[in-house]
């Protein structure tokens, strides 16, 4: 199960500074995934490098880790939504089948008894 909250305190890129990691996390949330993705595409450095995003200067690895978590969470939510949709579609098909069979049985019953 995917975490509903990004575990920024446990990120190896925040160097054991949870207050700083929280500020970085808030900045990433405010900027949004698409903007972070675009900003990461502009740099040519490793995960340990530094990148300005919004008003914060953070490690590239932290932004990459947040983006991976964000994308995974979005994918999990879409999968869950799809599974619910499939369930209700199958339920509706079953209900329609039961109704059709009930109607056919009622029709046959009426013909037999006339």
Smallest Cα–Cα separation from 29: which of 51, 8, 3, 59? Answer: 8
Could you tell me the two tokens for 107? 């029709």
Q: Where are the alpha helices (DSSP H) in 47-59?
A: none
Every domain of the chain and the residues it spans: 8-86
Q: Would you say 47 and 64 are in contact if contact means Cβ atoms under 8 Å apart? A: yes
Q: What is the pLDDT of residue 1?
A: 45
Angle between helices 60-112 and 18-31 (to 10 degrees): 60
Per-residue pLDDT for the chain (114 aa), expressed as one digit of tens each?
Answer: 456 778 777 787 777 788 888 999 899 999 989 999 999 988 887 777 888 888 888 888 999 999 999 888 888 788 888 888 888 888 888 889 988 888 888 898 888 887
Q: Which residues pair with 53 in a beta bridge?
A: 56
Could you tell me the two tokens for 45? 């450095």
In whole angstroms, what separates CA 33 from the centre of its chain?
12
């Amino acid at each position: 199960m995917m975490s509903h909250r990004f575990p920024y305190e446990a990120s190896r890129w925040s160097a054991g500074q949870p207050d700083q990691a929280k500020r970085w996390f808030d900045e990433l949330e405010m900027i949004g995934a698409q903007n972070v993705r675009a900003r990461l595409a502009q740099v040519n450095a490793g995960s340990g490098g530094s990148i300005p995003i919004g008003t914060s200067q953070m490690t590239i690895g932290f932004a990459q880790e947040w983006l991976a978590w964000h994308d995974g969470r979005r994918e999990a939510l879409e999968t869950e939504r799809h599974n619910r949709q499939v369930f209700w579609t199958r339920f509706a098909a079953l209900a329609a089948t039961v109704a059709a069979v009930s109607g056919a049985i009622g029709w046959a019953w009426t013909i037999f008894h006339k």
